[in-house]
Chain A
Amino acid sequence: MDLSQALEVAVCTDAGMVRSHNEDSIAADPARGVVVLADGMGGYNAGEVASGIATTVIAAELQRAIEAEVQGESNPDGALVQRLLAEQIAKANNQIFQEAQTQPQYAGMGTTLVAAMFHNNKVTVAHIGDSRMYRLRGEQLQQITRDHSLLQEQIDSGMITPEQAKFSQNKNLVTRALGIDPLADPEIHSFDTHAGDIYLLCSDGLNDMVSDEDIAMTVQTLSANLRLAAQQLVQMANDNGGRDNISVILVRIVRDYATQRGWFDRLFGWIR
């Protein structure tokens, strides 16, 4: 099913003001409703390699897997998409892990991940590490994913408040990553989408430099021009110091995209 009429997607990625190269990778396929963002880590260019494998493998394989699975008949439900997403993540994890094990220059590389698949008026999002997805619905910007980071665990345990967390020196410690272990540990959830929602996927280079309030204000103010909004977010992160690579994917739900019900569902609906 082609979702390019239902979804508007804008992306922007930048090395930032301090780093010499960009270890973030992004992939977006609006027609298939797949967006993937990864923030790689590891010396030299290993970070790029890890995040590149993650986005390429997941973006390319996911929709293919779904098409193969449902054979165009039934509508993929949340559980199916979740399972397939987990499988593709496992595949990417395996590939990064193998590379890291066999090539000395890639030893220890890994990447964070946030991947979203839009299907049947739903979004299924998987994440590992501290790359995030936010949702702007009406005036409210809400963080959908919860970081797998030391800081988040400290916040959860009540050790520090989210307000204090802005001043923490331990911002960059993730507790999960893709490609560092034989088995990946993604967190996957599905949510209903509404027409008009805007979803933001970003690397920590954005949310460490730009406050949630400013992110909300920017996306809302510039929602008429998604590409400009994405560029503006990156620019704000750079204006505030741009200490890390910055990547942004914005997805607007233009209209409903409920899947045609397959013959199987129709039959059941009719029998009932």
Chain B
Amino acid sequence: MAKLVLSMDGLVLKEITLNKERTTIGRKPHNDIQIDNLAVSGEHAVIVTILNDSFLEDLGSTNGTMVNGETIKKHFLQHNDVVELGKYKLKYLNESAGATKPPHDFEKTMVLRPDAPAPAPAPAQEAPLMPPMNLSASQAMPTLGTASGRPLSESQTLRLTTSQPVALAQAHAANPAPAAQALTPGGKGPVAAVQILSGPALGRELELTKALTTLGKTGSQVAVITKRPQGYFITHVEGDRFPLVNGKALDAQAHPLNDHDIIELAGVKMEFFFKS
């Protein structure tokens, strides 16, 4: 479960677990996180937590709310975000975002059902691997923007934005989000290029920065070089003739490329090499 660490001048004051649908922050004593400082408004901000996601919203505070140095109105909190209210800092930690869970916990799909019977108030994190139907966490999901109104309770009721009550069937809690790198194409590691060694484009160099780079002529002979975490590979795509690497014809399988390999394709020779 996500938590906030409240600190001032590097001194940790408090740890707050985000186990409520709404966690309010402000100077007045009725707030869940009370910060008794005149720079903080009476009702300064609220954090809305929906299962494993938390959203921070400034409630029109006088001095504003900053996240990682930028003033925000609404913000979708990410692991290690630092929220600042005046001199106070709140660090957002979401352990489930780390890849620390055992493999079977990864990203199991669950069903949210609007018509299930009243759910038992068990936190999602404690759901067993194969739960009975409708067990699970009920939590509330108000729309951001309704600042007040709904009473808070420990056993919260999960709502969809359509405000139907919803229960989880097939619950499975831990679902670390793919890291941002999961969305970046190809792998890391050294960048390679091919240089044309024959034909009219002699000397031209093509950097292989994309996950896929095609070579050849559409309709006659095409090969693709794929950039993967473990290196570069060449694969035949279309045409009757297969490309040659160091004089040997490829088969239908992907073939790993090594520094200074010579590729022959559609009558053109080129050299594959790693840059720098």
- Which residues of A pack against B, CB within 8 Å? 18-19, 39, 41-44, 107-108, 110, 112, 129-130, 150, 153-154, 156-157, 159-160, 164, 166-177, 180-181, 204, 208-211, 213-214, 217-218, 221-222, 224-225, 228, 232, 235-236, 239-241, 243-244
A156 to B236, CA, bound (A): 42
Is B11 part of the contact surface with A, judged by Cβ < 8 Å? no
Distance, CA A175 to CA B178, complexed state (A)? 21
The answer to whether A180 and B111 touch across the interface, beta carbons within 8 angstroms, is yes
B161–A154 contact, CB under 8 A? Answer: yes
CB-defined interface of B95-116 with A at 8 Å, one 1/0 digit per residue?
0110000010011111111110
Interface stretch among B28-36, B83-91, B222-230? B222-230
B interface secondary structure, majority: loop
- CB pair A44–B109 under 8 Å, yes or no, is no
Which of the segments B51-59, B200-208, B259-267 contacts the partner chain? B51-59
Determine whether the beta carbon of A172 is less than 8 Å from that of B107. yes
Q: Chain B residues with Cβ under 8 A from A156's Cβ?
A: 161
Report if A169-B51 is in contact (Cβ < 8 Å); known contacts: A214-B211, A240-B178, A241-B182: yes
With an 8 Å Cβ cutoff, the count of chain B residues facing the other chain is: 62
- Which of B96, B111, B162, B236 is the one whose CB lies under 8 Å from A153? B162
Q: Residue-by-residue, is B132-171 near A (CB-CB < 8 Å gives 1, otherwise 0)? A: 1100000000011000000000000000111000101110
Q: List 10 additional contacts besides A176-B111, A222-B214; criterion CB under 8 Å.
A: A130-B109, A157-B161, A168-B53, A170-B50, A172-B109, A173-B168, A218-B211, A232-B212, A235-B228, A244-B106
Q: Are A168 and B177 in contact (CB under 8 A)?
A: yes
Q: A164: which B residues are within 8 A, CB to CB?
A: 76
Q: Does B238 contact A (CB under 8 A)?
A: yes
Whose C-beta in chain B lies nearest to the C-beta of A210?
A: B183
Minimum C-beta distance from A260 to chain B (A): 32
Q: Which of B53, B172, B218, B229 contacts A224 (CB 8 A)?
A: B218
CB distance from B234 to the nearest CB of A (A): 12
Identify which of B94, B110, B143 contacts A173 (C-beta below 8 A).
B110
